[in-house]
Amino acid sequence: MRQDVLRRNNPYNDDKVIAACSIFGAMDRSGKRMSAHDTVRAIANMHERSNGLGGGFAGYGIYPEHADRYALHVMYLAPGAREELECRLARDFDIALAEPIPTRSGAKVWNQPELWRYFVLPVADNGLSPDDYMMGHVMRINSTLEDAFIFSSGKNMGVFKGVGYPEAVADFFRLDEYQGYIWVAHGRFPTNTPGWWGGAHPFNLLDWTVVHNGEISSYDTNRRFLEMYGYSCTMMTDTEVVAYAVDLLMRRHGLPIELVKEVLAPRFWQEIDREHGPLADAKRVLRQVYSELLLNGPFTVIIAHNGEMIGLTDRIRLRPLTAATRGEMLYLSSEESAIRLVSPQLDRAWIPDGGEPVVGRLGSTEPVAAQPVVSARKT
C-alpha cells in the first residue's frame, strides 16, 4: 500500500481496531423454532466489524431427535487424532450416533479441520452429576489431546464456528438446514490472540455459550481462579474465561444472573458503600468471595443456555449493546441497524445500562432487567 494512503487512512499508526467484533442474538420466548436465516443476515449486516479471522453461531433446540444426549462437536487438526479421541469416548460414553458434521463445499472458509459430531450419554456412575462428568471429560480431552478439541458439548444445541466471515461460516455449516428457538452469532476481529478455528466464538461448555465484543484484561487472574475449580483454558482467547465463569457461578454455585452480574461487572466500591440493606451486604460478599472473577476491560457479552438468553456490558458500557422486542422475539445486537434489518417494526428498542443484564426466558412476556433501563422508546 502506498505510504500516503496508509497515512491518510491510519494517521495515528494504530494497528488495532479495538471497538470491532459484532455480536447478535435472537430468541423466540415462546419456544417456537426458527431458521438461522435472519441471524445470518443480521450478523452479515455488520460485516465491517470483523476481518475474516473468525465467525460463529450457536443454535438451541436444533437436535430434538437427540434432545436427551450431549451433542459433542469436535475438530481434528491432524490425522490420527480422531482414532485416539473415539477410543476414549467409546470407553466412557454410550454413543448413539457418530458422523461428520454436514458442511458445504465452496464456502469461503480457510484451513478447515476435520469436523465430527457425537451424541452421547455417560456410562459410568462415579458420584458426579452427568454435567460434571461431561465437564471433566471436555477439560481433559482439550488439554491432553494436542490435535482434538471439543468445541460444543451441550444437549439439544450446537456451536458452529471457524475461520472466515460469519456469513461464510454459516454457508459452510449449512445452517439453513437447522431450526432453533435461540440463535447467537459473532463476527471476529482479533487483536491480541490468534485467528484459528478453536479461537472463534461462541465459546461453549455444556449448554452455556458466550459471544463477546471487547477485551478481558483480567484474563490471567480469571484463569488462575477458574483452574482451582477444574477448568482448563486451551483456546488461546480471553473470552474463554467468561464461558467457564458463567458455568461455575450459575450452574455449579446456583447464582441467578441478577447476582452473577455483581461478580462479573460489579458496582464500584464507593457506590456499594453508599448502599444499605441485605442487597448491599450481598454485593459486598460477592465482590470479596469472587474478586478474581471480576472482568476488567471493556466488554459486551451475549450469554445463552437452554431456556435463556442474556445480554450484559461492562459497568461503564465501553462496548455497545442494543436490545429490542417484537412480540415474542427478543433481539440483542452490537448495532440497532442489524435488528431493524430483520424486524423493521419493533415494539421497543433501548440501550441497557452498563452492568445491567437484559434477560429473555422461555415463557416470559418481557425481557427482565435487574434495574430499569434507559433510553427506552416505543417505535
Cα(236)–Cα(234) distance, integer angstroms? 6
Single pTM value for the model: 0.91
pLDDT at residue 278, rounded to an integer? 85
pLDDT at 10: 45
What domains, with CATH codes, occur in the chain?
A: 20-378 (3.60.20.10)
Per-residue pLDDT of 293-312, as tens digits, reads 999 999 999 999 999 999 99
How sure is the predictor about 191, in pLDDT bands with cuts at 50, 70 and 90? confident
Average confidence (pLDDT) over 257-286 = 90
The residue annotated as part of the active site, out of 1, 6, 7, 21, is 21
**What's the rounded mean pLDDT across residues 48-61?**
95
Residue of 231, 230, 260, 265 whose CA lies nearest to 246: 260
Residue burial 215-236, b: 16+ Cβ < 10 Å; e: rest = bbebbebbbebbeeeebbbbbe
Average pLDDT, integer, range 151-178: 98
pLDDT band at 369 (very low <50, low <70, confident <90, very high): low
- Asked if residue 14 has pLDDT above 70, the reply is no
β-bridge mates for residue 286, sequence order: none
- Residue 277 has what pLDDT? 85
pLDDT band of 280, cuts 50, 70, 90 = confident
Q: Please say if 233 is a catalytic residue.
A: no
Q: Cell 445463552: give the residue.
A: 304
Q: Which has the closest alpha carbon to 183: 58, 273, 311?
A: 58
Percent of the chain with pLDDT over 90: 82
Is the predicted pLDDT of residue 44 greater than 80, yes or no? yes
pLDDT in tens, 232-251: 999 989 999 999 999 999 99
Residue type, 248: L
Distance from the Cα of residue 69 to its chain's centroid: 21
What is the reported pLDDT for 370? Answer: 42
Percent of the chain with pLDDT over 70: 91
The strand pairing partners of 27, in sequence order, are 182, 330
Q: Is the pLDDT of residue 282 over 60?
A: yes
